[in-house]
Chain A
Amino acid sequence: MLHLARKAFAPAKLPFPLLHVDTGWKFGEMIKFRDELAAESDIELLVYMNEDGRARGISPVASGSALHTHVMKTEALRQALEKWRFDAAFGGARRDEERSRAKERIFSLRSAGHGWDPRNQRPEFRRLFNTRMSAGETMRVFPLSNWAELDVWRYIRAEQIPIVPLYFAKSRPVVARDGALIMVDDERLPLMAGEVSQIRQVRFRTLGCYPLTGAIPSEATSVDDIIAEIQSSGVSERQGRIIDHDDSGSMEKKKREGYF
């Protein structure tokens, strides 16, 4: 999405800053990639963390996935948007990811409390987007709504876009937990009784908080390999996201509360 935005405004510079809502539990390699990107001349990066949540010791390890996601992601995003008084935030969510996202608008209006009302959304006719808002209201904008996962990878290949190395298969220390392979990204991940860290050839299809993101066994070390792998895969990309598994409607619930 960043690549598309740069191209859309070229030869001018990107007219808006980038925002990262950091939970403190993101993959180290992802943070490194983020910081390298932020050093480029046309990028202004803002990083926000819910300090109150951190002070309260909220973590995916101690608090469980639901509370951690609510405080460190949903609430943090709301706080960040209010801090910088942003009218709109772009997100990379796509309709093919998850069922409630399938009905999301491209310009999704959120109420003054950042709530989403899926039953009362603005109709989107042709390419005509209604961007008008009342005081306190904000927008989530999803330019990639109509892309599928494979489209994203084909585009990355066509445009040779640099990506976080975690998407490529490599020998990494993981533990098997609740049917998912969780990477031991740093020493904060406590191993439970009977769990052993093992080195396996894995990659990630999606990057969330590392203790909540399952890796997949994979040999795909190039974009071509990844495309071939996706074409023959029988599982969806969010399958590795533990926060989606609480309940069938849990993404919709999170979105109503202000999650992307």
Chain B
Amino acid sequence: MEKRLGATPAAQPTLLDAETRLPLRFLTCGSVDDGKSTLIGRLLYENHLVFDDHLAALERDSKKHGTTGAMDFALLLDGLEAEREQGITIDVGYRYFSTRRRSFVVADTPGHEQYTRNMATGASNADLALLLVDARKGLLDQTRRHAIIADMLGLRHLVLAVNKMDLVAFDEEKFKRIEDDFRTFAANLGFGTIRAIPVSARHGDNVSASSASMAWYRGPALLPYLEEIEVDDDRVNQPFRMPVQLISRPDMEFRGFGGTVANGSIRVGDEVMVLPSGGTSRVKQILGPGGECEAAGADDAVTLTLSDEIDVARGDVLVQPHQRAQVADHLAAHLVWMSEEKLLPGRSYLMKINHGAVAATVTALKHRIDINTLSKIAAKTLSLNDIGVCNLSLSRKIAFDAYRENRDTGSFILIDRYTNETIAAGMIDFALWRAGNIRHQHIAVTGAERSQLMGHKPLVLWFTGLSGAGKSTIANLVETRLHALGVHTTTLDGDNVRLALNRDLGFTEPDRVENIRRVGEVAKLMTEAGLVVLCSFISPFRAERRMVRELVAGGMFIEVFVDTPLETCIARDPKGLYRRAMAGEIRNFTGVDQAYEPPEHPELRLVARDTSPQDLADQVVAHVIKQIAL
């Protein structure tokens, strides 16, 4: 709605962009008292978007509830009686306004810690996050928490509004420091654009027009920036996805499949595939809201008819055969827990996804995410407002995409089957393979035959020891020498594996177990290819080292204990990790707050005290050469 106050006639805009562009949906967030509601109220007020009668109600209410004595713009936003009296926003509130350039849908969400679920809800339908910071306080836990949730919910654009600049004398240095702090913090997150703007919501500086008090700031004011930013992520060119919402059968001749195109586009004559069943046909007709049409794209609500009689049900997903969605009954996902009732792994919940419902059980809760630090913490359950990563097992196969790729076909909710409460929101990470469905395949070429071709036997050289003990340094030297001797080698390094194959794993006990299990399997595959595999992992637990030893066939596993005392490792601290762990910034750090179990009978024990890494490497090479001789 475009509203004008007073008698000043509105100049007729020549171009009504707001009528042709999709609205910008943004979410306001940040710590409580950072002035979110005030900023939005101010935005509406300054742009004459507040109705006279709303303004009169505001004046009336400001006297009754206001915290500032003057007009309290926040009262325009805080909707419900209870929260007006408490002076806090308790739920997601929506506001709609448009300027000549653009329409806006604003989700105003609470700043309090206990309302993560509301913020996740507000963020799930937004394209941009407007994150407020109090210039006096800088980044707070809440600020980081909200940025992390916005990132996790797939928002790719963020505006950092550094508010209350009037209370720090419009100090450029203060602003710059907060912006730098935020950019450093957000380097680990996935935002495509981040814009920092210094504002005073109370006084209107840099809200809709540039502020005279902050001539040092040369960027756009908030509103002009929001009017300009492009958030369209080119969805028409993404793979075609249409979750089927309705089977339309008005008469015996007609059978159509209704739904809204979530991504991509489709034309009459295109081949389509129904997932999860996999049946294929061609599009015969596309019936749009205005009748028959040639094509449909993202966000179009259409009914399709197909050339062949194939089975399609509500909840199925139509795709194109060359760009299929994933199909699985076992998957890994992030969960935002939204209920007072805690998560019970093993309990059967109802999963709603793509207009369909399926029974779902959490088979493994991998960890909870501490959203102040992003660290992964071992957890047995999730409570209200917790975010966790888990494996889910479903009663039948479903079609989906990773949430990162498609927010519609990658999102779901979990419903309690008894109370019917929505207990969690979920974002799918990837499909998991269920071992029971897979049969072992016989392979014709044997390991011995591969060894013959290589000219030596395969081997796993497992370097274990504390962080900073020198495992990687020695392993590098060993590999260089073996390579020079014509041995076919490769290295699996702890950090490198965690950046790729195991990037979903943290440092909790269960995650460390899984980390080593996977590395063991990869090392085994590589020995089957005939290689000498150098593995460099802290691997703190005996049980997992034993597991790998048993995995790799007899005699091919050499445990190399790099026995450097903890004090030496702390003194070296090559990656600065001990310092951070001891400051409490990193949890589950081996040697600090997680135990290291030294090997009882390693094949080789390397003591660095008065021996150089070169000499230690020589000891290893000598041992290896003996072992791999044919």
Which of A119, A132, A236 sits near B53, CB closer than 8 Å? A236
B4 and A95 form a contact (CB under 8 A): no
B269 within 8 A of A: no
Residues in A with CB closer than 8 Å to B98 are: 148, 150
B2 within 8 A of A: yes
Given contacts A125-B121, A234-B51, A235-B52, contact A148 B425 (CB under 8 A): no
A13 and B79 form a contact (CB under 8 A): no
Question: Which of A4-12, A20-28, A32-40, A169-177 is the contact stretch?
Answer: A4-12
Which of B51, B91, B250, B254 sits near A239, CB closer than 8 Å? B51
Question: Which of B66-74, B144-152, B414-422, B567-575 is the contact stretch?
Answer: B414-422
The distance in angstroms between the C-alpha atoms of A149 and B97, with both chains bound, is 10
Question: Which of B213-221, B232-240, B405-413, B463-471 is the contact stretch?
Answer: B405-413
B52 and A7 form a contact (CB under 8 A): no
The distance in angstroms between the C-alpha atoms of A249 and B75, with both chains bound, is 12
- Which chain B residue lies CB-closest to A8? B301
A252 and B52 form a contact (CB under 8 A): no
B287 and A128 form a contact (CB under 8 A): no
- For B303, B411, B415, B420, the residue with the greatest tally of chain A CB atoms inside 10 Å of its CB is B420
- Which chain A residue lies CB-closest to B104? A148
A102 and B413 form a contact (CB under 8 A): no
Question: Which of B5-13, B325-333, B528-536 is the contact stretch?
Answer: B5-13
Residues in B with CB closer than 8 Å to A118 are: 80, 82, 91
Residues in B with CB closer than 8 Å to A124 are: 121
Interface residues of B in 223-261 (CB under 8 A from A): 246, 248-250, 254, 256, 258
Question: Which of B54-62, B178-186, B190-198, B513-521 is the contact stretch?
Answer: B54-62
**Please, what's the 1-or-0 string for A99-117, where 1 marks a CB less than 8 Å from any CB in chain B?**
1101100000000000000
A188 within 8 A of B: no
Residues in A with CB closer than 8 Å to B6 are: 234
The distance in angstroms between the C-alpha atoms of A60 and B413, with both chains bound, is 45
The distance in angstroms between the C-alpha atoms of A236 and B58, with both chains bound, is 13
Q: Secondary structure of the B side of the interface?
A: mixed
B112 within 8 A of A: no
A134 within 8 A of B: yes
Question: Which of A73-81, A85-93, A225-233 is the contact stretch?
Answer: A225-233
- For A13, A126, A127, A249, the residue with the greatest tally of chain B CB atoms inside 10 Å of its CB is A126
B120 and A125 form a contact (CB under 8 A): yes
B2 and A12 form a contact (CB under 8 A): no
Which of A13, A122, A146, A230 sits near B96, CB closer than 8 Å? A146
The distance in angstroms between the C-alpha atoms of A9 and B78, with both chains bound, is 37
A248 within 8 A of B: yes
A194 to chain B minimum Cβ distance, whole angstroms, is 25
The distance in angstroms between the C-alpha atoms of A99 and B51, with both chains bound, is 13
A133 within 8 A of B: yes
Which of A9, A132, A154 sits near B415, CB closer than 8 Å? A132
A132 to chain B minimum Cβ distance, whole angstroms, is 4
The distance in angstroms between the C-alpha atoms of A56 and B124, with both chains bound, is 49
A248 and B415 form a contact (CB under 8 A): no
- Which chain B residue lies CB-closest to A233? B3
B560 within 8 A of A: no
Residues in A with CB closer than 8 Å to B97 are: 148
Given contacts A118-B80, A148-B96, contact A125 B124 (CB under 8 A): yes
List the 3 closest A-B pairs by CB distance, nearest first. A12-B250, A132-B420, A125-B425
A–B Cβ pairs within 8 angstroms, 18 of them: A100-B81, A102-B95, A103-B79, A103-B92, A118-B80, A119-B90, A124-B121, A127-B408, A128-B352, A128-B425, A132-B415, A148-B1, A150-B1, A230-B1, A232-B4, A232-B10, A233-B51, A239-B53
Q: Which residues of B contact A (CB under 8 A)?
A: 1-6, 9-10, 19, 51-54, 57, 60-61, 78-82, 84, 90-98, 103, 105, 117-118, 120-121, 124-125, 246, 248-250, 254, 256, 258, 287, 289, 301, 303, 338, 350, 352-353, 407-408, 411-413, 415, 419-422, 425
